[in-house]
Structure 1
Amino acid sequence: MALLGNAVNLAIIPARGGSKRIPHKNIKPFCGKPIIAYAIENAINSGVFDEIIVSTDSQEVAAIATHYGAKVPFLRPQHLSDDHTPTLPVIAHALETQQVYDEDNVCCLYPTTPLLPPHCLTQAYMTLCENTNVRYVFGALQYAHSPWRSFGLDSIESSGSVDSKAHLSNECSVESFAPTLLHPEFELTRSQDLAPLYHDAGQFYFAKALCFKRQLPIFTPHSRALILNPLHAHDIDTPQDWQLAELKYQILHT
């Protein structure tokens, strides 16, 4: 595709080496190749980017990233590579190491996005370029089950609270609990009559470099959400998430 204007278009993929819940998650084989390879290839195939950079603290991640076509011009410092480091400081650091102008277009693309089609990145880029008052464009998903009908579980047994991680095992959790509706005003409302709610899909954030440099908040009225097909995004935090994402990928590619 033809790039708009004279701005440079840069993709930055934050991919640190450590991961506790899924060891080596960002380079773990996913349906035949390292999962980060899909993000790199999708960025290339979108036709948007002049350069694709991976921000990592790992030589192993760097080697795999360069093999699939990305550049790794620096290694990320350790203070930006722990479990608690937010995304915006990582992208701001990457921009500081490169000659990136405020008006350049930057996409933070997560490495665990194997389901995301390249055209979503293209559409997000076009949305950003065509709306000068927009700070960020990001992928969003509609909640499959409306949070308006959500409830908390308060244990009424002396044995303790409800096991919030029971769903991660192969066993069902049997607890004695009392549900407390968070929005009791909607208890009798039909689910189809409830207003839809959305959440960040955790796939990408597209913005002018200045927004990332200043670490401006993403979820504001100055941003735009690109609503994704549920098959095109899946948050991968646990082994069960990984299995479900692979099933989605197989559905999309068979």
Structure 2
Amino acid sequence: MKSRTVAIIPARGGSKRIPRKNIRDFGGKPMIAWSIQAALESGIFDEVIVSTDDPEIAQVAREHGAQVPFLRPPEISGDQVGLNPVLKHALNWLEMDGGGCPSLLGCIYATAPFLRASDLRTAFERLNEKPEAEYVLSVCTFPSPVQRAMTTNEAGEIRFMWPELRLTPSQALQECFHDAGQFVIGRAASFLQQESALSGHCLPFVLPRYRCQDIDTPEDWEQARHLFYALQSTSAS
């Protein structure tokens, strides 16, 4: 049986802080449409599937070119459910449907309007170039050294978390990354066997900070919206 590469876009319906954020208008399209578009335009996926528990999201996804061959069961649709059970459910469904488990899986976040098809292609190539690698994860650098992070003590006073590093020159501090919240591409067998990409051999795909924005709160949404239009204006000029 021919091996295949499948994209899964998880998109549950119960977002609380930004209601209906996965299909809310962003830049003239439903938010999820940007992720679907990037996946389709990348040309690396045999199928682009949205995993959702919500019929309205399913309809919007289909209208923008994705497949929605199943609705996600309630037990893996709550806000406390991690990503891995959702991906395992999709992979198991694909296996039971008779098409066989794909060789590679791309998990693309539903709120990734800055994702580009070229990012996915390059990440896919990087994974194929490294047989020992299991995943490629989109990451971003912190804007300032995390080793200089501060917190408060029991008295409410500000303190360095690592006071022993307070005088260390910035260039001597190790560069740190955070999950960019856009995609992870990996071997399907690894997704089935492990709890997260960081449990295995995971390569970074570093995105520029100006194209990384978590969208979890109304403030995040507004910041992302302004950034989106700024990038649109720059590319048009």
TM-score w.r.t. the length of structure 2 is 0.92
Question: Residues of 2 paired with 1:195 and 1:89: CA distance?
Answer: 33
Cα distance between partner residues in 2 of 1:121 and 1:127: 10
Aligned residue pair count: 229
1:198 is matched with which residue? 177
Pairing 1:226–2:225 present: no
Per residue, is there more helix in 1 or in 2? 2
Distance 1:222 1:52 in 2: 25
| Counterpart for residue 135 of structure 2 | 136
1:48 aligned residue (29, 41, 44): 44
| Residue number among 89, 96, 109 corresponding to 1:93 in the alignment | 89
Stretches (4+) displaced over 4 A: 100-103
Could you tell me how far 1:101 is from its partner in structure 2?
A: 4.5
Alpha-carbon RMSD: 1.5
Distance 1:217 1:111 in 2: 18
Secondary structure of 1:253's aligned partner: helix
Give 1:178's aligned residue: 157
- Per the alignment, residue 22 of structure 2 pairs with 26
| Higher radius of gyration, 1 or 2 | 1
Q: What runs of 5+ residues in structure 1 fail to find an aligned partner?
A: 1-5, 157-176
What's the CA shift for 1:96? 0.8
Aligned CA distance change for structure 1 residues 101 and 209 (closer, same or farther; 3 Å): farther
CA contact (8 A) 1:107 1:205 kept: yes
Separation in 1, partners of 2:174, 2:202 = 20
Q: Which 5+ residue runs of structure 2 have no aligned equivalent?
A: none
* Cα separation, partners in 2 of 1:150 and 1:77, compared to 1, 3 Å: same
| CA offsets 1:7-65 (integer angstroms, 9 cap, x no match) | 21100000000111110111111111110000000001111111100000000000000
Determine helix, strand or coil for the equivalent of 2:198: coil
CA offsets 1:143-192 (integer angstroms, 9 cap, x no match): 11211001112363xxxxxxxxxxxxxxxxxxxx3112111111122334
* Greater Cα shift, 215-224 or 146-155: 215-224
Answering whether residue 216 of structure 2 is matched by residue 249 of structure 1, we say no
How many angstroms apart in 2 are the aligned matches of 1:215 and 1:97? 18
- Select between 190-199 and 125-134 the one with higher mean Cα deviation: 190-199
